[in-house]
Amino acid sequence: MRPAPAGVRAEGRVRTVRSMLKRVVGRGIAFVGRVAPNRVMRALFRAWLARVEGWPDPRAAMRELLELDAEVELAADRTAIRYDGGIHAKHRLTGYHDFFVERIRPGERVLDLGCGKGELAADIVRRADARVTGVDRDVAYLAFARERFALPGLELVEGDLLEHVPDGHYDVVVLSNVLEHIGPRVELLQRVAEQAQPDRFLIRVPVHARDWTVPLRLELGLPHFSDPTHEVEYDLEGFEAEMHAAGLRVESSQILWGEIWAEVRR
């Protein structure tokens, strides 16, 4: 086997050193966190913020603060899941399940693609008296859903929706915070419309221009989507254009909580 070029070896060494430093710093912070009261840790954090705020280069300071903001938001998301016993608190606080439940009739067959941990699928079964098939590729999510929501009328299927859509006709297809994670979105929508022959789609996707920091992040060359795994984020015009490209028509739409909620028909 030929040795790797010198540049590649050097880059690998840099990554190794960075990884080691992160581990050492992380252990140090964890130790200080165990022995120092929260008020001391918070005072140190405020002192560091004040130092960054006073950097002579405001561009560098802004980049540092926005990167920190993204890390804090991620930590808040993880803690919000623990706070509500394994289900993100936004399910309860924003009441977003209502949008879906109110648009599904008793006895309808619902296909929830990318159902995650099954919170919405279970609520549709309970409150709309519908039959729901939820599909997700995350085995851990499905295990959580099966343990937490053992309901008649709820079927949970492991599968990658890019490769497999359950056979049969469904009255409604739910795509709640799913499309933004998909590359070939138009192709997926066309395939689902052809195979499931739904009367309507109920779709929820994130809005891109959610606050003033989004264009600033763009200006500073920072990631600007609300989730690093997103392939796209939307405005209403772009969303409607994508639905049209898939042969679908937006029946109604609204923007709430930084997201587009839409009822879409073939």
Report domain 94-265's class: alpha beta
- Tell me how far apart the alpha carbons of residues 12 and 256 are, in angstroms, rounded to a whole number: 45
The pLDDT value recorded for residue 3 is 46
For the chain, the structural domain boundaries read: 94-265
Closest-CA residue to 119 (of 160, 76, 80):
80
Closest-CA residue to 201 (of 262, 257, 156, 120):
262
Phi-psi region of 86 (alpha: psi -120 to 50; beta: other; left: phi over 0): left
**Three-class DSSP labels, the chain:** CCCCCHHHHHHHHHHHHHHHHHHHHHHHHHHHHHHCCHHHHHHHHHHHHHHHHCCCCHHHHHHHHHHHHHHHHHHHHHHHHHHCCCCCCHHHHCCCHHHHHCCCCCCCEEEEECCCCCHHHHHHHHHHCCEEEEEECCHHHHHHHHHHCCCCCEEEEECCCCCCCCCCCCCEEEEECCHHHCCCHHHHHHHHHHHHCCCEEEEEEEECCCCCHHHHHHHHCCCCCCCCCCCCCECHHHHHHHHHHCCCEEEEEEEECCEEEEEEEC
How would you write the pLDDT of the chain (266 residues) with one tens digit per residue? 444 445 444 545 545 555 555 555 455 555 555 656 788 888 988 999 999 999 999 999 999 999 999 999 999 999 999 999 999 999 999 999 999 999 999 999 999 999 999 999 999 999 999 999 999 999 999 999 999 998 999 999 999 999 989 999 999 999 999 999 999 999 999 999 999 999 999 999 999 999 999 999 999 999 999 999 999 999 999 999 999 999 999 999 999 999 999 999 99
Closest-CA residue to 201 (of 82, 113, 132):
113
The pLDDT value recorded for residue 1 is 42
